[in-house]
Amino acid sequence: MRERRRSRMTEGADLDLLPVMNLISLLIPFLLTATQFVSTTSVAATAPTAGVAKSEEVVPPRVSISRKGFDLALVGLEDRPGYPGGVIPCLTAGCENRDAYDYDALADRLAWAKLQRPDTVDVILMPQPDVVYEVLIGTMDAARSMPTAGGRAGAVMFPVVSIVAGKP
């Protein structure tokens, strides 16, 4: 009797794959339309080239970022009237967070440099190792946009940002 049961079970077992195929054909377009394609924005950041600067080459502004604030160096513009280079201290002692840095003063001084050299598109940022990432991003934002009366939504100042290791 056992032999008869086994033969009955194996004889007429057909798999009906049509419902599964219908389900898959409906799921594929749904999953494709539900997919979110990621779009990322980026900032052009390049490493400066090594070598000796020629006398006719323009040295881009250099911003050193530390826990004391910003130190702006505008090589070749030191002798011009109204030279705004030098140290920009933090708004609060110790520069504890991103909001402690004076980005508006930095943007104003970089705007002065841009007016002196309108063809310059580079800026060099030199963060210290203990500077937090948000401060570096805030500095990049201040260097990229010309300050206006309502904030920083004006023309682009320095779109090409180079990041190098800061001086210890």
Amino acid occupying residue 131: V
pLDDT at position 120: 87
Query: How does the average pLDDT of the chain come out, rounded?
Result: 79
Q: For 141-162, what is each residue's pLDDT tens digit?
A: 888 887 766 555 567 888 888 8
pTM given for the model: 0.64
Distance, CA of 143 to CA of 163 (rounded, Å): 12
Q: For 83-129, what is each residue's pLDDT tens digit?
A: 887 888 988 887 888 889 998 889 888 988 888 888 888 999 999 98
Residues near 94 by beta carbon (within 8 Å), at least 6 away in sequence: 67, 100
